[in-house]
Amino acid sequence: MVFLRKVSQDNPKDRFAFAPIQNYDEPWTDEKLYKKYGFNENEIAFIDSMIRPMDLTLNDDTDE
């Protein structure tokens, strides 16, 4: 969304006009985001086909 308004290396505030505001005080799952932004099944299938799942074990700081 930022790319649609960005034509140079500058990043003034208006370049983010199309970027949605997101509350990062809570954990977000794909399903919660799909519901929040109202994605339909075709859009969800497209997103899932283009973005591979993250391996969250790489960010696990717990010692086992």
What pTM was computed for the model?
A: 0.58
pLDDT score at 8: 64
Show Cβ contacts of residue 39 under 8 Å, excluding neighbours closer than 6 positions. Answer: 47
Residue 6 pLDDT greater than 70, yes or no: no
pLDDT score at 3: 61
User: Domain map of the chain by residue range?
Assistant: 26-52
Rounded Cα distance, 8 and 45, in Å? 33
End-to-end CA distance of the chain: 40
Contact 34, 48 (CB under 8 A): no
Element (DSSP H or E) covering residue 43? helix 41-50
pLDDT tens column, 8-63: 677 777 777 778 888 889 999 999 999 999 999 999 999 999 998 887 776 665 55
